[in-house]
Structure 1
Amino acid sequence: MAEINLFLIFLGSIGFDLLIGDPRFLIHPVQIIGFYIKKISNYLINNFGGNKKILFWGGFIVSISTIGISFSFGKLIELSYVQSRNHFLGGFLIFFGLSSCIATKGLISSVKEIAELIEYKEINAQNKSLIQEKVQRIVSRDVSSSSIEHLLRSSTESLTENSVDGIFGPLLWIFIGIVFMKFSIFFPGPLSLGFSYKAISTLDSMIGYKYDYFKYLGFFSAKIEDIFTFIPSRLVLITLPLVSTKVNQYKSIIKKSYLDGKKYDSPNAGISEAIFAYIAGVKLGGKSKYKKEIIEKPIINPTGDSCTREKIKLICQLILRLQFLWIIIFFVLIFLLSRV
């Protein structure tokens, strides 16, 4: 019955994230992971920046070591918890560990704050600078010269893309870990897979770019993230319409979203952005500045409206509804599994 106990801890961690988010008094695992990645990456760039081969294989070592350490740490806590027969301390560590893997409150709160600043504040040079600073924290593009309209679009694209990386990807892999633990405590469990996915996501966000040194240093990180986010992004594609008012257009919306999403270089980002865009009725894509280069992303839902505070609010509601649906599905599957 270990899977039942783990699932209950999982439910508690989801509730904790929704209510509290990441406690400021605790060091977040991403901070530790990020510190490790930054130190090794900077060393490789500073000492071997002109050697593509060393950067390439160095990036492989950074990726594998980061994921391996994260997995091992999570597995150690899981083994300690199960072998101690569900000891309180082990359960407590798993509870907070799983909560740290999910970013629902943090993601939604940060984007809502930006939308409300734009909606309710008189836009002057000082306010716009503050808004740009907040948007820059959640996007990789350069928004220092962006218009208010572009800031809203950037925030919306970040929200729709990161909903998979920060919420639905971790949820799925944590659930898979719970199922694995049904068969053996030595299989990957919820915390080891949750920490691993968080490491993969952090690697991609820090070095998984396609310019300068990162084309080589971040190659493996980007590819691994593509693999592990492939299934979650497509599950979001086929389940999001079920919690919307457009469920009667199910087939056509999925088809349009898939076709628009496939235009993106990333096999996952475009898919997740597109399904939210069609459900919320917004237009995404277009020109964005990365470093000194202007990149024009394919247009998603060309007949959609511009991004507004109300559209962002709707997308946030869709995320919460979909998370609730996934939890119900997971609960039913765990219940059926426990009867076997």
Structure 2
Amino acid sequence: MGPGSPEGLLLGVALDALLGDPRRGHPVAAFGRAASALERRLHGDSRVRGMVFTAVLVGGAAGLGVVAEKAARGRLARAAVTAAATWAVLGGTSLGREGRHMARLLEGGDLAAARRRLSHLCARDPDGMDEKALARATVESVAENTSDAAVAPLLWGAVAGVPGLLAYRAVNTLDAMVGYRDPRYVRFGWASARLDDAANWLPARLTGLLTVACAAPSGRARQAWRALRRDGAAHPSPNAGRCEAAFAGALGVRLGGVNVYGGRVEERPELGDGRAPETADIRRAVRLSRAVTLAAVAVAAAVAAGRRRA
């Protein structure tokens, strides 16, 4: 696998900004259906079965990327293939739309609709959540998914081209499908969850650093850096905490607290020193996410161009 096409990455980002995710026929949805079909055949309370499941699907996605790149002869064709793959795997525009939609619902006082909509961003139980709890959940989801939906795929696309783009999205999708700690997936989903941790290790830390840089215009770079260094490792996820802590410092809010997943209560450590997030902070988080994504685009294009010259 060679480096990605910088022109293709830039064009793919532009397509995502203009079009967002397709409403029908999304390639990631098709991959999810294939994964569900394979899970029905392979599922068992076994790490080995889960490893086979993960290897087949991630390997298949990477192999498809290799075939697509080899079929694209010439720089223009490779840029076009990279652009299509980048558009297919990016989710930054849709993430921003979801965040703004949640903000509108909360601004309008429609808590019932906001609770129903929360599932588009995260897997928390929304029952009984008030406006501030919904605002915190949304800000945390925007922060974490800035890495998953934008920074990570761009970085993998820069380093490993179309195979890297498709393989990363496969890994991230499988983690969302089976990477839970409930009895059904605690062993079967182990490989998918651990592979997702590994694939996001560097992108999450890059997201934290880019967040610090993007906080400079608001004068909060020092606070973002302090929160990132002090609180980033406190989160139970090896990666999400870096993104959330940096966002907390950059926005001047305090994230973390009690979350409920499928009836299971988790007490998350506090990240940042500020006040509890409010509805207005959602739009601020979306703007910060967009700035971080644009910074990641520049980094990814530079990495891809440098690798191509090497």
The TM-score with structure 2 as length reference comes to 0.91
Q: Name the CA shift for 1:136/1:11 in 2 (closer, same or farther; >3 Å).
A: same
Q: Distance in 1 between matches of 2:41 and 2:117?
A: 29
What SS does the corresponding residue of 1:213 show, helix, strand or coil? coil
1:133-185 Cα deviation digits (max 9, x unpaired): 111222111112322221111111111111111110001100112xxxxxxxx
**In the alignment, which residue of structure 2 is the partner of 1:14?**
13
**What is the CA RMSD across the aligned residues, in angstroms?**
2.3
Letter in structure 1 aligned against 2:7: L
CA distance in 1, matches of 2:50, 2:219: 46
Change beyond 3 A, Cα 1:202–1:339: closer
User: Does residue 296 of structure 2 align to residue 313 of structure 1?
Assistant: no
Q: Is the 8 A contact 1:77 1:94 kept in 2?
A: no
* Cα distance in 2 between the residues matched to 1:116 and 1:157: 17
Select 1:279's aligned residue among 250, 264, 288: 250
Q: 1:3-33 deviations in whole A, cap 9, x for unaligned?
A: 79x22121111011012112224x2221122
Once residues 17 and 39 of structure 1 are traced to their aligned partners in structure 2, the CA distance between those partners, rounded to angstroms, is: 28
- Answer yes or no: is 1:139 the counterpart of 2:119: no
In structure 2, the CA distance between the partners of 1:336 and 1:97, relative to structure 1 (3 Å rule), is closer
Alignment match, 2:98: 110
The change in CA–CA distance for 1:257 and 1:175 in structure 2 (over 3 A counts) is same
Matches of 1:72 and 1:193, distance apart in 2? 10
Equivalence map 1:1-340=2 (5 Å): 6-25=5-24, 27-45=25-43, 48=44, 52=45, 55-82=46-73, 85-86=74-75, 88=77, 92-119=80-107, 121=108, 123=109, 127-177=110-160, 190-245=161-216, 250=221, 253-301=224-272, 303-336=273-306
The structure with higher relative contact order (CA 8 Å, sep 6+) is 2
Which secondary structure state, in structure 2, belongs to the residue aligned with residue 234 of structure 1? helix
Q: Does structure 2 conserve the Cα–Cα contact (< 8 Å) formed by 1:246 and 1:279?
A: no
By how many angstroms is 1:37 displaced? 2.1
Moved over 6 A (4+): 246-249
CA deviation vs aligned residue, 1:249-294 (integer Å, no higher than 9, x gap): 6566424323312112210011111111110111111111111221
C-alpha distance 332-7 of structure 1, shift in aligned 2 (>3 A): closer
Measure how far apart 1:35 and its partner are. 1.1
| Number of residue pairs the alignment of both structures matches | 309
Could you tell me which residue of structure 2 aligns to residue 185 of structure 1? none
Question: 1:137, 1:299 → 2: CA distance?
Answer: 24
Identity, % of aligned pairs? Answer: 23
Residues 261 and 273, structure 1, Cα contact 8 Å, conserved in 2: yes
Could you tell me which runs of 5 or more consecutive residues in structure 1 were left unpaired when the two chains were aligned: 178-189
> 2 CA distance for matches of 1:34 and 1:173?
20
